[in-house]
Structure formats: structure tokens, C-alpha cells
Structure 1
Amino acid sequence: MTTLIIGGGVVGLSIAFGLLQQGKSVLVLDGGDSDFRASRGNFGLVWVQGKGVDCPSYSTWSRRSAGLWPGYADDLKAASGIDVSLSQKGGVDYFTDEEELADKVSALEGLRTAVGGDYPFEVLDHTGLKKLVPQIGPKVVGGLYSPMDGHVNPLQLLKALTIGVKSLGGDIRTGAQVVEIKAADHAFTAILASGDHVEGGSIVLSAGLGAADLGESLGFKAPVRPQQGQVLITEKLPFFLEYPSGTLRQVNEGGVQVGASKAEIGPDDREDLETLAGLARHAVEVFPHLAKAKLVRSWAALRVMSPDGLPIYQRSAKYEGARFVTCHSGITLAAAHASLLPDWVMGTNQAPDLSDFSEARF
């Protein structure tokens, strides 16, 4: 029985990779180049710090995935020959406002209590943070360090997944835009824009923003929306930034990536100068020497967001064999999606309990 996976981004390919590791037959249907693709515009973080403040189970799920990442990276390298440049030395959040820092500390302390006390982080004042990251500027009042965080090269990850899925016997059809799905229990037909029909005995809808158009036919609400983020990239610089943050990281090739803008403006992936200038100002406030760095490119991309920002894992109540998966933390959760989610997809006794992330909460 072939599992159809609708969506060839990091989420869909990670699930495909895990299913193939368990000996299953998989066909990935990946849309066209005109589709909005979060996997080609993300920040590359394997991030735990701060996630799940209002939902401790999300914090636990994120941390569980982060812990699986070293083995996942090894599996990908073995299958594809590609090193995704995983680094998990920890992460730092930088603050230029004392009140914002205090609010974040309070939130993390509450989360630590909610998860039973096992939630490592350290509050650093300016002097303590400067010992850890000497290049910070005088406007940085302090920061939060957590050993749980890290980052990868996201484009290398996408490449490794593509090669790895194929090397394990999976099939990936690119330019395969699904326009309609005909469904029955364990019998699904994806109808492509080309007119082709593709059949499978089970189906995983992981099409990002495209799930909004396809979900209803499988019995899902699929309440996803776009959230725009913009990113700046500097020229390659001597390495100085060992610890990534949610807004700044130095990639393995040497460029510094500046990001974390958030805009609720619908499906608009155009850049604007005001937002990009704000990102640049933040980077220079934290690391003044970046004022002399040349910017080599920028882009805008769309995050895939649920109403509450948490992942959605839903089995269809309408058709046996249909699953819906979406999240905006596809990189962080990729290891769990490859290692743990296949059992949930197949409905085995080893499946993780993902009931907190069902559509019932909406």
C-alpha cells in the first residue's frame, strides 16, 4: 500500500523519510515553483527556548525532537551523503530592554515549573553575556542562554531529504500540483493540474498553505493562514557568532542571517524597505561591527500558521487512512516527524500521544 504525501517541503519529506525507514512505500507529490514554499525561506533553527509558554506539551514535543536531531542528521548523511551542519551548542536571546528581559524570564520560569523543573536556561546580565559573546554592543542589557537550542543549514537539509527519500526507494514527483482529492477509506486519488491521477492506500496532507484548499475534501478543517517574515543575509564574515538566536545566526558558510519579522498581511511575500531597515537596526544594536558588513541578499517568505500557532496533527474522522500535518516549526520538529510520526501515521501502538494538537481545540 502506497502512502501519498501531499507536499514536498521539510515536513512532508521528513515524514516520507521516516516511513521509508520502516519499509513503507511512499510517493511525494510536490507542487510547482510558483507555490509559496516555507521550506526555502526559513531561518534554520532547531529551537526550544520559549516554545510552549502557553502549552507545555508543545515545549515537551519540541524538546523531544531537538534531542532526536543528532541521530536524524546522521541518518540523513548516511542516506544522502550530505552534512546538514547541525550545531547544538545552545542558543541566546539578546535583549536591549530590561522590562522585556524580565517578562521573558518570568515566562520561562513559569514554563519550567509547568514541565516539572527540567528546563535549563541561564539569565545573563550584560557583563555575563559579554563573557559568552564578546562582540555584543553596549545597548544589550542581557540575555537568556539555553543549551537546548541549535541550528542547521536549511537548504542542505532540504537537499539531503530529497536525495535521502529517493535513496531509500521513495518517489518524488515535482511540479505535481494537486487540485482535487477523491477519497474513500484506504483509497485516495490525487488529481493533478496536468490531469494525471495518482492513487494511494493512505494519504498525508502536509501541503502547507495549500492545505486550506484541499483539507475539506478529506474531512479536515485545515485552519492555516500565512504570516510573512523577512530576512537579511550579510557577506561571508569571520566566524564570531557561536550561539544562534531567534533573530541572528551565522550560517556555516559565514554569512550572518538577520530575521524574525512578523506581519499579518495575507499571502504577500514581497519585501519592504521599512521592515528590512528595522532588521538591520536590530542587528547593529546587538553587534555594532555588523554596521560595516555588506548585505548580499534579502527575501520574504510565508510561515504556515494555525490559529494558536501550534502544530496540528489530525486523523480524519471521515476517511480511514487520511492524516493532516502542519506546523510553523518544521525544522525543529523534523526529527520527531521522521522518527516518531510514522507510527502515528500508521496508527501503531508505539504512536506518540498528539491529542493536544488535534483540530478539536478549535
Structure 2
Amino acid sequence: MHDEFEYGVIGGGLVGASLAYGLAKRGRKVVMFDEADIARRASRGNFALVWVQGKGAAFPVYSDWTIASAMAWSSLAAELEDLTGIHLHHRRPGGFVLCLGEDELAERARDLASLKAHNPDYPYEMLDRRELAKVLRQVGPDVVGASYCALDGDVNSLLLLRSLHMALAQHGGTSLPGRKVLDIGRDGRGFRLKTQSGEVHVDKVILAAGLGNMELGSKVGFDVPVRAQRGEIMVTEKIAPFLHHPMHIIRQTNEGGVMIGDSHEEADDYNSVSMPIQSFMARRAVRMFPCLEALNVVRMWSALRVLSRDGYPIYAQSSTHPGAYLVTCHSGVTLAAAHADRLVPALISGARDTIIDSFGLERFHAEAA
């Protein structure tokens, strides 16, 4: 295969698909390489939150970035639904972080107050138990209070991924499923991307392959400081709607099942789950909502988060291979709107963006110095 494209996006998960869609709808000739479901991609196992509160406590510009994306999400959802006919079940009713002790509640208040100091308009509220029970009538007696942010919401992330792939095609973009990029080489003014089915020429290449960016990045001058972190999820049987707001570790899907996810493990195996961890998550969820105790668990899985050294996104251009870009983050759902409609225009134009510029690799060089 010797087709030529203006942009090649390596990675067909939520990050890569958002970028490829953003490029295609702006008239760029783009090809997306998608290793498909054999890849270790977070897109098939995430918690599907469009989440703002608490993010960026140690790096406030990340708070600004997530707020900007969350504010743009309704427009993205409407645009994709119009193009594809797929209802994404996006909602933004506001979300809660429930606290199971006074120490948890005090720590939560301190973290959000620091974000408020950075941004006086930062939208959050602290609720005591009495106030919370008026909104969440089935909340358990162990919950002492909560934080609330009106910008938080959720979506059906599997339908989001499907719609991005469909919308890419409708805008004339090319997707190559099952095509793992094995090597990247220079080719005159651009790059040769080698797959098992031949080579593809692109003028510019964007690495959006999650954990695969570590190996691919070395081929175009990047030292990519990311690691895998495992998270586990369980899903209950479907029940009538009772959770009308997503929580940071509990949400009821549009289909009625309750998702529970509350683990962070330094592990890179995603083919198993830990029963002690699943038990811990279940017990904590039942303390928050005792009505969950009677439900059957119907599915469990684990998936790998893609975390940089400091936990925040990386957006970079190679200094040794002009035209090669690196994009990696662990919030592909929340940041989908920002990636498609703010990061992509910046990549195309080369214009400086104060927020995007904050997420370069230079911050890690400063740490090393």
C-alpha cells in the first residue's frame, strides 16, 4: 500500500479518533491507524466520566483545560449525533464526590479551595450530610458529606468511540483497522509508516497510541515518560434509574447497570481482576448506597490508564523530526472536545496556545535539572 496523506494518526482509541475526526472535519486528508481491540487501549475499559472537579489541584492549568473541554462537550455530542445518528447519552447534571469520614471531607474541601484560589470562578460546592440527602435520597449513613460540581457529567464511551470512527469516515477520513504501525522512517518531506500490510506515506504524524507511544516515540526523537496503571471496574445487573448524578466512583449507565470503579494499581496486566480489590470496591460502594447490596454483579474487568510521570497530558512536537507530534493523556473521554476542536486547530496552524503549551515535555526536563 503506497497511499499518501497529509496527516497520519497512530492510535484509534478515543484520543486518536478525536484528533483524526478534528482533522478530517477541517478538510485535512487524514489516515488513522487502529490496532483494534487486540491493543491495550483504555478506551474499551474506562469509567466514561466527563469530569472536572478536583482535576489539576497540583497543576491548575489542567483544571482550566478540563473546564474548557467540559464546556464544549455538549456541542461535540450534538455534532456527532447529527452526523452519525448515534445517541451518546451525554448528560451534565453535575457530579458528586462522596466522603466517608470527616477527614476525607476536610481534605476534599482543601483541594477544591486551592483550585478556587487559582480560578475565583471555579464551580464547586461543599455539602454536609443533611444537604446531600435532599438530593441523593438513598445515600448511606456512613456518608458525612460531599463535594459537587455542576460541570461534571458522563457519556456512553463505547458509543462515543464508534461515533468518532463513523464521523471520521463521513468527513472523508481513512481508517485502517488492524494495522499496527511497526516502524516510522523519514521519507523526504514526510514519514513512511510501516505496517504488516505495507507502507503509508504521510506528511505529518501524530502519535496517539497510548502506552505504544513509548516505543514509537523513540523513532521520532521522543523520550515518552508514561507508565501503565491498572484500574478495575464492576457492573451490576440493570435496575430502575435511581442515580441521576454521576459520582467519582459510582455511576448508573443509560442502560440501568451500576458501574463501580475505585482502584489504582501499579500493574500492567489487564487480563485479570483482583478479588480483594473487587471486594473492597463493593464494600465501599455499599457504604455509600446500601441499596446496592442486594444487586448481582454481572461483569468485572480491568484496563490500563496511560499516565505520564506527573499524571497530566503531554502535547509535544519533535525537535529532531519536524512534523512529528506526541499526544498522550489518561482523560480521553473528558478531553475529547478539547482535542478535536482546540488542540487540532493549534496543530494545523502552529499557533501558540498558553494552555496547550503548558503540557510540553519541557516540564520533565526541568524536573531532571
Q: TM-score, with normalisation over the residues of structure 1? A: 0.97
- Give the direction of change, closer, same or farther, for the CA distance of 1:344–1:288 in structure 2 (3 Å limit): same
Q: Read off the aligned partner of 2:265 and give its amino acid letter.
A: A
Q: Residue 34 of structure 1: which of 32, 35, 38 is its match?
A: 38
Match of 1:136 in 2: 139
Match of 1:7 in 2: 11
User: CA contact under 8 A between 2:25 and 2:168: conserved in structure 1?
Assistant: no
Deviation at 1:268, TM superposition (A): 4.2
- Give the direction of change, closer, same or farther, for the CA distance of 1:352–1:344 in structure 2 (3 Å limit): farther
Query: Could you tell me the percent identity over the aligned residues?
Result: 41
Match of 2:367 in 1: none
User: CA contact under 8 A between 1:17 and 1:164: conserved in structure 2?
Assistant: yes
Q: Deviations over 1:112-149 (max 9, x none)?
A: 1112x111111111111000110101011111111010
The equivalences for 1:246-265 within 5 A come to: 246-265=248-267
* 94-103 or 260-269, which deviates more: 260-269
User: CA contact under 8 A between 1:185 and 1:319: conserved in structure 2?
Assistant: no
Q: Deviations over 1:317-340 (max 9, x none)?
A: 112211100000000000000111
Q: Read off the aligned partner of 1:126 and give its amino acid letter.
A: R
Match of 2:175 in 1: 172
The equivalences for 1:219-258 within 5 A come to: 219-258=221-260
> Is residue 290 from structure 1 mapped to residue 285 from structure 2 by the alignment?
no
User: CA contact under 8 A between 1:244 and 1:250: conserved in structure 2?
Assistant: yes
Q: Residue 310 of structure 1: which of 305, 312, 317 is its match?
A: 312
Q: Residue 200 of structure 1: which of 195, 199, 202 is its match?
A: 202
Q: Read off the aligned partner of 2:177 and give its amino acid letter.
A: T
Q: How many residues align?
A: 360
Q: Deviations over 1:18-56 (max 9, x none)?
A: 111111111000114322010000000000000000111
Which whole-Å CA distance do the structure 2 matches of 1:100 and 1:184 have between them?
55
Which whole-Å CA distance do the structure 1 matches of 2:110 and 2:188 have between them?
48
Match of 1:109 in 2: 113
Q: Read off the aligned partner of 2:363 and give its amino acid letter.
A: R
Which whole-Å CA distance do the structure 2 matches of 1:50 and 1:13 have between them?
26
Which whole-Å CA distance do the structure 2 matches of 1:185 and 1:233 have between them?
51
Q: Read off the aligned partner of 1:17 and give its amino acid letter.
A: Y
Q: Read off the aligned partner of 1:142 and give its amino acid letter.
A: G
The equivalences for 1:1-362 within 5 A come to: 1-115=5-119, 117-183=120-186, 186-192=189-195, 194-349=196-351, 353-362=355-364
Deviation at 1:267, TM superposition (A): 4.0
Which whole-Å CA distance do the structure 2 matches of 1:25 and 1:279 have between them?
45
* 328-337 or 70-79, which deviates more: 70-79
Deviation at 1:100, TM superposition (A): 1.1
Q: Read off the aligned partner of 1:37 and give its amino acid letter.
A: R
Deviation at 1:260, TM superposition (A): 2.5
Q: Deviations over 1:182-223 (max 9, x none)?
A: 13574111111x251111001100000001110011111111
Q: Deviations over 1:240-274 (max 9, x none)?
A: 10111110000111110000310002344421111
Which whole-Å CA distance do the structure 1 matches of 2:57 and 2:330 have between them?
16
SS in 2 for 1:358: coil
User: CA contact under 8 A between 1:136 and 1:287: conserved in structure 2?
Assistant: yes
- Give the direction of change, closer, same or farther, for the CA distance of 1:141–1:49 in structure 2 (3 Å limit): same
- Give the direction of change, closer, same or farther, for the CA distance of 1:231–1:282 in structure 2 (3 Å limit): same
User: CA contact under 8 A between 2:343 and 2:356: conserved in structure 1?
Assistant: no
User: CA contact under 8 A between 1:343 and 1:351: conserved in structure 2?
Assistant: no
Q: TM-score, with normalisation over the residues of structure 2? A: 0.95
User: CA contact under 8 A between 1:186 and 1:320: conserved in structure 2?
Assistant: no
Which whole-Å CA distance do the structure 2 matches of 1:356 and 1:19 have between them?
22
SS in 2 for 1:225: strand
Q: Read off the aligned partner of 1:206 and give its amino acid letter.
A: A
Which whole-Å CA distance do the structure 1 matches of 2:189 and 2:136 have between them?
54
- Structure 1: 5+ residue stretches without partners: none
SS in 1 for 2:237: strand
Which whole-Å CA distance do the structure 1 matches of 2:326 and 2:226 have between them?
12
- Structure 2: 5+ residue stretches without partners: 365-369
Which whole-Å CA distance do the structure 1 matches of 2:320 and 2:329 have between them?
22
Deviation at 1:83, TM superposition (A): 1.3
Which whole-Å CA distance do the structure 2 matches of 1:315 and 1:101 have between them?
41
Deviation at 1:348, TM superposition (A): 3.8
